[in-house]
Amino acid sequence: MEVLVAVVIAVLTSCGVYLLLRGRTFPIILGLTLLTYAVNLFIFMSGRLNPGKSTIIGVGEGYTDPLPQALVLTAIVISFAMTAFVMVLALRARAELGNDHVDGRIKVEDVKS
Amino acid sequence: MNHLIIAPVLMPLLTAILLLLGTGRPLRIQRGISFISICLQLGVATALLLSAAEGTISVYALGNWEAPFGIVLVLDRLSALMVFVTAVLAFFSLWYAIRGNDKPADSLHSVVHFLIMGVNGAFLTGDLFNLFVFFEVLLIASYTLLLHGGGAARIKSGLHYVLLNLVGSSLFLIAAALLYGLTGTLNMADMANKVAQTTADEAPLMNAAALLLLVVFGLKAAMVPLYFWLPRAYASASAPVAAVFCIMTKIGIYAIIRMYTLVFGDEAGVVANLAQPWLWPLALVTLGFGVAGALAARELRLQIAYLVVVSVGTMMAGVALNTEQALSATLYYLMHSTWICGALFLLADLIVRQRGATADRIITGPALRQPVKLGALFFIAAAAIIGMPPLSGFVGKVLLMQSATTDERTFWLWFMLLAAGFVTITALSRSGSTIFWRTENRVAKVDKADRGALLAVICMLALSLVLSFGGNPVVRYTDALAQQLKNPAIYTQAVLSHKAIPGVHHD
């Protein structure tokens, strides 16, 4: 289970970082989204994996740490809002600059390179 | 429990909400509310500064939940000083803004107050995750402010700024989660105690978490190699926004000082002082890149933005030296550079308005309408930022140079600071002489500078004189502040021994 979760986080992070390094806004936003998924999973795992346990002490045998679940909720809300914002900003940049390159290049040849 | 501690967070929040509700009301009312609020905030910040100056660390448990389980706000000398610096800067920026410089949209004031709320929260909080949340609050406000007014240049630099900071936020979360996984706490004071007991097995992970945090704070502080977003962003922002943004890099510096003296400081066992060896070379390189940029800049506001990078390098060097004296000098320099860079951005706006189509490009253009007044102010501001006596930049640099104990680092610090000063003189005399002296034989048809706005700039520059001639109490305060920083036990003790108010139950 630990290995599976670790591999999932690693794959999400590396895909996210790869997409972040692209030159156009759309792949970058996708990359950011993947990265935030990886981060959310990572925060969730910082309380260790205790499958099937309750978050309340005394209900069953053992317990799982509730704090990372609260933290991940905050992180999800914030990253969701930020993604929405950057999406609108990217659309605005596309309209103002005439293309979707992050450096706002004007010529078509520049964008291709 | 002293409820005044939460006022720097609540007051701007309520003001901002009030201003949002008043959207569409006459601009006069909006400006009035905004200015009255910032005056009150300045009063509160002064009161907090005076109470912190006595040396007690006040703790405010939010919702009456005791640390380390609840979130606490902590007012020590450092956070009180930072809140005060913010309030003064915001006061003058808003003063400048209400003199007709807050167009085209009237939403500027409410967003500035949201930004102040985030900044004050970040300075006051004693909880790592809460620090992240306040960072996000101030970042979303700063994204909006940066784009305030629109235009292709702002959109372009704004996009870089937003994307970089979103990546920074992800890294912050990874670091915070790592630290939580290792220590089981998010309260900084409690974390400092837990980190001190790090075993050798955990040290590599702890190192990774601590240095990831350094990357995040370095991005905020605009340290090499993470400063590329800053110059364009500051140069394209509107004047009051650029002035308020002078506090943004200092938030990074504050976070570095806080984390690497309190949590990863002298008493952190196997991970003690792990950031300083990285900070030292990066600080000097930042200094070098900053002056190179200032020398090469073709626009006045871009040049000032590079001077912000120079000041970041100077402060980083002080933090990296990591002695009481150096930290005290750093904090003194921080006050000076925040206020004077803010004044320079406002002054640059006044100058640019009188140059017609030439705008802020450093080329021969029409003569200014008020060359003597603006020229004299530019000369004083330049002298202050370069570090000429008798202004505060000089005192700050001397304090910093004195604090370097005699080793090979002294040579590099003195060399870089003096060389940076010399190059800055060259850069600013080039732009000053081009703008004020090498002009065409005509005067651009423009209005004179607004008197109120001019007065705001003059008062801000006068702060430099206050800092140098009234320097004794200031330096005594920063000395005591540095002493408090170097004894993190006082901080942890104050936070962890804080008791909730009895009789208030959480059911």
Residues of B in contact with A33 (CB under 8 A): none
One domain for residues B211 and B85: yes
Closest CA in chain A for residue B173 = A39
**This prediction's pTM:** 0.94
Name the residue facing A104 among B133, B152, B186 (closest C-beta).
Answer: B152
The helix (run of H) or strand (run of E) holding residue B75 is strand B72-75
B:170-209 residues touching chain A, CB 8 A cutoff:
170, 173-174, 176-178, 180-181, 186
One domain for residues B280 and B245: no
One domain for residues B376 and B462: yes
Q: Determine if residue B399 is left, alpha or beta; phi over 0 gives left, psi from -120 to 50 gives alpha, anything else beta.
A: alpha
| pLDDT surpasses 90 at A104 | no
d(CA A85, CA A66): 29
pLDDT band at B104 (very low <50, low <70, confident <90, very high): low
Looking at domain A2-112, its CATH architecture is Orthogonal Bundle (1.10)
User: Which tokens is B232 given?
Assistant: 């364009």
User: Which tokens is B392 given?
Assistant: 């505060």
One domain for residues B253 and B279: no
- How far is the first Cα of chain A from the last one, in angstroms, to the nearest whole number? 43
Structural domain that includes position B219: 1-267
Which of B163, B178, B202 should one mutate to test binding to chain A, selecting the residue with the greatest count of A CBs within 10 A?
Answer: B163
Alpha-helical runs (H) found in B54-107: 77-98
Closest CA in chain A for residue B158 = A89
Which of A30, A37, A39, A64 should one mutate to test binding to chain B, selecting the residue with the greatest count of B CBs within 10 A?
Answer: A39
Q: How many domains does chain B have?
A: 2
CB–CB contact B136 A71 (8 Å): no
One domain for residues B436 and B303: yes
pLDDT attached to residue A112:
53
d(CA B447, CA B369): 8
One domain for residues B38 and B178: yes
One-letter amino acid of A109: E
Instruction: Supply angle C-alpha B317, B58, B37, rounded to 5.
Output: 85
CA-based nearest residue to B418, from B400, B391, B405 = B400
Which of B208, B240, B267 marks a domain boundary? Answer: B267
CB–CB contact B166 A82 (8 Å): yes
What value does the CA radius of gyration of chain B take, rounded to a whole number of Å? 22
Share of chain B above pLDDT 70, in %: 98
| pLDDT surpasses 80 at B505 | no
User: Comparing A49-58, B92-101, B360-369, B385-394, which segment has the lowest mean pLDDT?
Assistant: A49-58
One domain for residues B299 and B237: no
One domain for residues B60 and B125: yes
**Each residue's pLDDT tens digit, B254-292:** 999 999 999 999 888 888 888 999 999 999 999 999 999
User: Which tokens is B188 given?
Assistant: 């900084």
**Each residue's pLDDT tens digit, B302-317:** 999 999 999 999 999 9
pLDDT attached to residue B186:
94
One domain for residues B329 and B255: no
pLDDT attached to residue A113:
47
d(CA B291, CA B195): 38
- B7, part of any domain: yes
One domain for residues B296 and B249: no
One domain for residues B344 and B215: no
Whether the CB of B228 is below 8 Å from some CB of chain A: the reply is: no
One domain for residues B366 and B401: yes
